[in-house]
A and B are shown apart, each in its own frame.
Chain A
Amino acid sequence: MHSMLSHAILILLLPLASAALIAFFLRQRGAVASYLSTGTAGAIAAISIILLQHGERFEASVEWLRFGSFTLSLGIKYDDLAALMLFIVGFVGFLIHLFSLGYMHDDSARARFFGGLSIFMFSMIGIVLANNLFMIFIFWELVGFSSWLLINHYHQKQSAADASKKAFIVNRVGDFGFLLGIVWCYWANGTVNFTELGQLGETHGLVFSTAIPLLLFCGAMGKSAQMPLQVWLPDAMEGPTPVSALIHAATMVAAGIFMLCRINVLMVADALTVIMWVGTVTALYAALCAIVQRDIKKVLAYSTLSQLGYMVAAFGLGSLTFKHEMGGAVHEMAIAAGVGAAMFHLTTHAFFKALMFLGSGSVIHGCHHEQDIFKMGGLAKKMPVTFATFTIGVLAIIGFPFLAGFFSKDAILYLAMEKNTAVFAVLALTAVLTSFYMVRLWKITFLGVSRSEDASHAHESGLVMTLPLIILAVLSIIGATGWFGLGLYPKLAGSIAELIPEAHGSAHTTIFAVSLAVMTIGAGSALFFYKTAADDTLEVKAGGLFRLLTGLKESFDKVYDYYVAKVQQRFAMLVYFLEKFVLEGAIIGGGSGLVGLVGRGIRALYTGSLHTYVYWFLLGAVVLWAFAAGLLH
């Protein structure tokens, strides 16, 4: 027990130590910093596996601050959920660190980059291990900071600087709701500790309110980039590609889903319905946007958004039977199915999306930082390892039978089919679109002939970059079969694995047929429709549709731009005017002006001539005399 707790504390503090060392001593020594950071990530991965092997679950906390009856504590809760998430963060994180060694080798600010990665690992592990909402919030903000730092890595580029600010500010909007939700939860239940909340739920002592889970969901909406706060994630692709893989695909953006699973005991049916629809709409919207992207990373970013929408929808689908069933136990189980499906997809998605991002990083690296897929082409022969692994990633995400994405997506589709037909239809359509845009990306990037100078001189990346690709490709293949077949996951995910909804009998056949059909339709039409040309076939053949989708993609940014420029800016000007003229001008300026005027008048009395003073003295004496004599009454 104690040794495992010290392991957990070690895993939390190691990356912090690494980040501090890099920040204070190794800023000019990129090579040392990169090895230190990667070594730390390796140690994290190793310790997370040791913790898994040991199989123990524990919780411990210390009091941190006390204000009267209000206490803040820092604690570690290592349960099934944390074990699974910690493994993903540690293992995928390590592979991405390894990849970064190669990808960032020639970067002049390597030390800052690896320091940022370490501080991110610290923050993310803090979220995973936190045992109460306040602690989650602290680390939540820290991941926001490290995300800002890493998106802004190429800070001399204006677009990167803008993107980092946008990510931070949009996240703040969500975090505002999150904080309100935490405070409300504390106010209503008297605790924000997950274990205590769970116990209250079991004894029916929990205050159920629709507002609390929805406010907390605002935090997830920001971090997991759900509608309408999704705008920051595509822009965040300005960061280096390993950052996109680690933070904006595999781990940080999944923190929102993780947090929802943590607070599932607070959920009520109405809140879950809202969450389900937000996820569903995000999934469809992002899939539509992904079709018209030219930038390889932007396609993957919208794909990430879409898959996050899938997870959120899966979580929201969990409890819809609650209305028809009686008793708290059913309520619990129904949500749990959502937790199982969401965490399952989170796991497999972390593997194949990290794989594809790293693959795109390898492509970008090979093509001398060209990111436009229409300027690539013919990379299959030039970069065989990247091509093979990327293909596995694509097959995994489109749900090719018996690859990772197939099982997790089916679990979600099955849940949707059982609970809500409308959601099922939208998610199935999204799956068609997913296959469509992924195959489009794959075909245009890798097949055909090279369409630019950079692409024709492309070369395969070194082993330090291809090795993580190979490992992730293997995980993308077996990452889900393990849940059922190899008996690996009961140890990894414990009870979470048992929560995954699994179709049986005729439902199984239906789901299998549906998922095969959507994959074939999407992939087949993309394969036939797109030509490996320098222009987007959709733009050439159906310009109207193309513009419609582009407009759809830009609509949110336009609305926000309009809001910021026209509404908020004008309101700010009004407030500025009030402050400048009424508060500063009239009240403060008027007061000081009056005092100044009086001072100026009185100052005029000080002529520097003694004789004037004598006259004033005389006048004063006369006034005093008159007063004493009663003349002034």
Chain B
Amino acid sequence: MMPLLANVYGLPSYLLVASLLFAIGFFGVLLRKNTLVIYMCLELMLLASTLALVAFSKFNGTLDGNVFVFFVLTIAAAEVAVGLAIIVALFRQRHTVQVEELNHLKH
């Protein structure tokens, strides 16, 4: 713990934040029931990974990570549009977005 706290502005602290964000997103996906919230948690995981990429880019002094992030964000924007559209369509069809009620593909 000590070295980590000592280099509070170093790369590990960025990665720590990214990991925390990723963990929050991951457990959100595992535990929440609302599709919309799960979706937001998924996005959170994605952004956590982009944060890590930005941090690597800064501390390595290269642009690779930044360029990567631009592409990820672009794709993510498109993906959000599609994903939200699906959720809206699902709600219109079924009048719910709770995952425990969306179980028609059960055996």
Question: Which one of B61-69, B71-79, B99-107 contacts A?
Answer: B99-107
Does A614 lie within 8 Å of B103, measured CB to CB? no
Docked complex Cα distance between A608 and B104 (Å): 7
CB-CB under 8 A from A607, the residues of chain B are 103, 106-107
B29 and A609 contacting across the interface, CB-CB below 8 Å? no
Residues of A within 8 A of B30 (CB): 611, 614-615
A628 within 8 A of B: no
B18 interface contact, C-beta 8 A: no
| A604 within 8 Å of B (CB atoms) | yes
* A606: Cβ under 8 A from any B Cβ: yes
Cα-based distance from A119 to B107 in the complex (angstroms): 61
Q: Which residues of A contact B106 (CB under 8 A)?
A: 606-608
User: What is the total of A-B residue contacts with beta carbons within 8 Å?
Assistant: 26
The interface centre, meaning the residue of A603, A605, A606, A611 with most chain B CB atoms within 10 A of its CB, is A611
A610 nearest CB neighbor, chain B only: B99
Q: Is the CB of A614 within 8 A of B29?
A: yes
Mark each residue of chain A from 288 to 322: 1 if its CB lies under 8 Å from any CB of chain B, else 0.
00000000000000000000000000000000000
List residues of chain A with CB within 8 A of the CB of B105. Answer: 606, 608
CA distance A615 to B100 in the complex (A): 15
The answer for the CA separation of A114 and B107 in the assembled complex, in Å, is: 64
Interface residue ranges of B77-107 to A (CB < 8 Å): 99-100, 102-107
Min CB distance, A617 to chain B, in Å? 10
Instruction: Name the residue on B nearest A605 (C-beta).
Output: B107
The answer to whether B47 has its CB under 8 Å from any CB of chain A is no
With A614-B29, A614-B30 in contact, do A609 and B99 touch (Cβ < 8 Å)? yes
Does chain A have a CB within 8 A of B54?
no
Complex interface: chain A residues within 8 A of B29 (CB) = 614
Instruction: Provide the bound-state CA to CA distance between A607 and B107, in Å.
Output: 7
Which B residue sits closest to A606, measured CB to CB?
A: B107
A-side contacts of B44, CB under 8 Å? none
B38 contacts partner chain A, Cβ-Cβ < 8 Å: yes
Judging by beta carbons under 8 Å apart, are B107 and A610 in contact? no
Chain A contributes a number of interface residues (CB within 8 A of B) equal to 11
Closest CB in chain A relative to B27 CB, distance in Å: 11
Residues in B with CB closer than 8 Å to A609 are 99-100, 103
CA gap between A611 and B98 in the complex, in Å: 12
B99's nearest neighbour on chain A, judged by CB, is A610
B19 to chain A, nearest CB (A): 16
1/0 contact trace for A377-398 toward B, CB 8 Å? 0000000000000000000000
Q: Which of chain A's residues has its CB closest to B100's CB?
A: A609
Q: In the complex, which residues of chain B have a beta carbon less than 8 angstroms from the beta carbon of A608?
A: 103-107
Determine whether the beta carbon of B107 is less than 8 Å from that of A611: no
Tell me the chain B residues, 1-48 only, with Cβ under 8 Å from chain A: 29-31, 38
Tell me which residues across on chain B come within 8 A of A615, comparing CB atoms: 30
Indicate if the CB atoms of A603 and B107 lie closer than 8 Å: yes
- Contact of A604 with B103 in the complex, beta carbons under 8 Å: no
Tell me which residues across on chain A come within 8 A of B102, comparing CB atoms: 610
What's the Cα separation between A615 and B29 when bound, in Å?
Answer: 10
Closest beta carbon of chain B to A625's beta carbon, Å: 15
Chain A residue numbers with a CB within 8 Å of B31 are: 611
Closest Cβ neighbor of A611 among chain B residues: B30
Distance in angstroms between the alpha carbons of A140 and B100 in the assembled complex: 74
List B contacts of A604 (CB < 8 A): 107
Chain B residues with CB below 8 A from A603, complex form: 107
Q: Provide the bound-state CA to CA distance between A614 and B104, in Å.
A: 17
Please report the C-alpha to C-alpha distance between residue A614 and residue B99 in the assembled complex, in whole angstroms: 12
| Chain A nearest CB, measured from B81 CB (Å) | 22
* Residues 588-608 of chain A, each 1 if its beta carbon lies under 8 Å from chain B, else 0: 000000000000000111111
Alpha-carbon separation in the docked complex, A611 to B104 (Å):
15
Minimum Cβ distance to chain A for residue B13 (Å): 25
For residue B56, give the distance in angstroms from its CB to the closest CB of chain A: 20
Q: Which residues of A contact B100 (CB under 8 A)?
A: 609
User: Measured between C-beta atoms, what is the minimum distance from A448 to chain B in Å?
Assistant: 88
Beta-carbon nearest neighbor of A599 in chain B: B107
What 1/0 flags go to A424-461 for Cβ under 8 Å of B? 00000000000000000000000000000000000000
Q: B107 to chain A: which residues have CB within 8 Å?
A: 603-608
Tell me, in angstroms, the Cα distance from A605 to B106 when the chains sit together.
9
Contact B104 A610 (CB under 8 A): no
Q: Which of A16-59 contact B (CB under 8 A)?
A: none
A614–B107 alpha-carbon span in the complex (Å): 17
B45 → chain A closest CB, angstroms: 12
In the assembled complex, the Cα of A605 lies from the Cα of B107 at a distance in Å of 8
Cα–Cα distance between A537 and B61 once the two chains are bound (Å):
131
Chain A residues with CB under 8 Å of chain B are: 603-611, 614-615
Q: Nearest 6 CB-CB pairs, A to B? A: A608-B103, A608-B106, A603-B107, A610-B99, A606-B107, A614-B30
Identify 20 residue pairs between A and B in the complex whose beta-carbon atoms are under 8 Å apart, listed by A's number. A603-B107, A604-B107, A606-B105, A606-B106, A606-B107, A607-B103, A607-B106, A608-B103, A608-B104, A608-B106, A608-B107, A609-B99, A609-B100, A609-B103, A610-B38, A610-B99, A610-B102, A611-B31, A614-B30, A615-B30
Please name 8 further chain A to chain B contacts, defined as beta carbons within 8 Å, in addition to the given A605-B107, A609-B100, A614-B29, sorted by A numbering.
A606-B105, A606-B107, A607-B106, A608-B104, A608-B107, A609-B99, A614-B30, A615-B30
